[in-house]
Amino acid sequence: MRPLVPPAVCLATSVPPALKREVAPAGDLGALWQRRCVASWGGTGWRAISVNPEAEAAALAAAHPGLEIRAVGRSAEAEYGRPFVWIDDLFAALEREAEGELVGLVNSDIELAMSPAERAAVAARARDGALVIYNRTELRHPGQRIGPLYRYGYDLFVMPRAVMRRLDMRGFALGVPWWDYWMALDALLRGVPVVLVQNPSARHLAHAQAWSTRNWERAIGLVVRRIGAARARLEAERARLLREDGADMLTATVMDTLVGAIRFDARAGYMGAQINHGVGTLLGLAIVRLVERHAHRLVAAGQDAPAEGLAA
């Protein structure tokens, strides 16, 4: 029997004390955009909490009076140079805060333009045991409603609490490259159904790359080590994927060798940075392709318009 009330979803994120978004000719619209993002997350049974280092909590509360803030006593600053919040701390907060069975993560600079029907559809799919993830839509100005879909990253994750408990996100922090790829890949490697939604409902105001090369290399090191650890237990599955892909064993072996050649310190030797960036990009593309096998679009029954177009 279908429940009368759609399942609640508790999202976690980490809103920075200040956001800069230079938009010509208006100038810095970061504060405006952040308010829009914060206002967009809740609704139809969904709520959001922001997990921040203690030092940020007061300023953040002043800037966003309605935002639920949960302070944590540590950050990833020593490892990544900025006070990012560990994904594990976001998960711990969700364990404590979520009233229902569904939890999720959203990047803090994402505005959710989701109708109640779309939220309900996502929650229903997650309740069936899937990890539902979204590509973002890139905007150049807050006034835009449409833009290109950015297929090379994931910005919203909704899942059952039981799936969250299975994911191994040690070492990854919100704001650090690769965490989104690894979360999707880790779910797939653990046999969790992943559903990629390509509706224009997760809006992002475009900006220059904010992450550092050092953090990129550190995080890809985590991904490569985890893939290596997963390989032994997944050899049969890997062989099946290779067959389905049409990839021959030589190609796969070459790819393995290349990925193994990633040097986690790019300065460690000749061509280190070049190898890292080339092979890392290939690895990222391979993950994107794997996840896109599960791509969907949510449409209204009997219509061909994207769900977002029917929303407001």
Partner 1 sequence: MTGDALLWRPRQVHDLMFRIDGFGWYPPELRDGIGFRWSGPGRLASLRIPFRCGGAGRGEIHLVEPVPGGVEVFLNGHPMTIEPRSEGAMEVLGFAWPAAAMAGQDVAELWIAVPETRAEGMPSPDAPGGRRLGVAVSCVVLEPGAAEGRVPEGATDAEDALPLLIGRRWMARHLAVEASGFAFTPAEDGEALEVTATALRLAALSLPRLAWRLRLGGDGEAGLVADWRAADNPGLALPVAGVVVAAPGDDGLALDGLDGLASAFDRVALAALLRDLIGPFRRWLGAPRGVGAVGDVPGGDVPRLAAWQVALHRARAAATRSLAALAAESDLPAVMSRVPAGSIFGAAGAAARAVG
Q: What does each C-alpha distance from 194 to 187, 212, 245, 294 come to in angstroms?
A: 7, 29, 18, 7
Of 64 and 125, which has the nearer Cβ to partner 1? 125
- Residue 121 CB, shortest distance to partner 1, in Å, is 4
From CA 83, how far away is CA 78, in angstroms rounded? Answer: 8
Residues binding partner 1 (CB under 8 A): 2-3, 6, 44, 116-118, 120-125, 138-140, 146-149, 151-152, 195, 198, 206, 246, 281, 285, 288-289, 292, 295-301, 304, 307
Amino acid at 55: A
- Residue 57 CB, shortest distance to partner 1, in Å, is 34
Of 132 and 167, which has the nearer Cβ to partner 1? 132
Kindly report the CA angle at 147 between 146 and 152, in degrees rounded to 5? 135
* Cross-strand pairs, 50: 13, 69
Of 97 and 138, which has the nearer Cβ to partner 1? 138
Of 71 and 120, which has the nearer Cβ to partner 1? 120
Q: Are 203 and 111 contacting, i.e. CB atoms less than 8 angstroms apart?
A: yes
- Residue 164 CB, shortest distance to partner 1, in Å, is 20
- Residue 280 CB, shortest distance to partner 1, in Å, is 12
Q: Are 172 and 87 contacting, i.e. CB atoms less than 8 angstroms apart?
A: yes
Q: Are 34 and 111 contacting, i.e. CB atoms less than 8 angstroms apart?
A: no
Of 71 and 273, which has the nearer Cβ to partner 1? 273
- Residue 1 CB, shortest distance to partner 1, in Å, is 11
From CA 60, how far away is CA 54, in angstroms rounded? Answer: 10
Of 231 and 296, which has the nearer Cβ to partner 1? 296
Q: Are 220 and 283 contacting, i.e. CB atoms less than 8 angstroms apart?
A: yes
Q: Is the peptide bond before 200 cis (omega within 30 degrees of 0)?
A: no
- Residue 249 CB, shortest distance to partner 1, in Å, is 15
- Residue 117 CB, shortest distance to partner 1, in Å, is 4
Of 58 and 274, which has the nearer Cβ to partner 1? 274
From CA 39, how far away is CA 305, in angstroms rounded? Answer: 25
C-alpha dihedral, 112 to 152 to 147 to 14, nearest 10°:
30
From CA 194, how far away is CA 209, in angstroms rounded? Answer: 27
- Residue 206 CB, shortest distance to partner 1, in Å, is 8
Kindly report the CA angle at 86 between 84 and 88, in degrees rounded to 5? 165
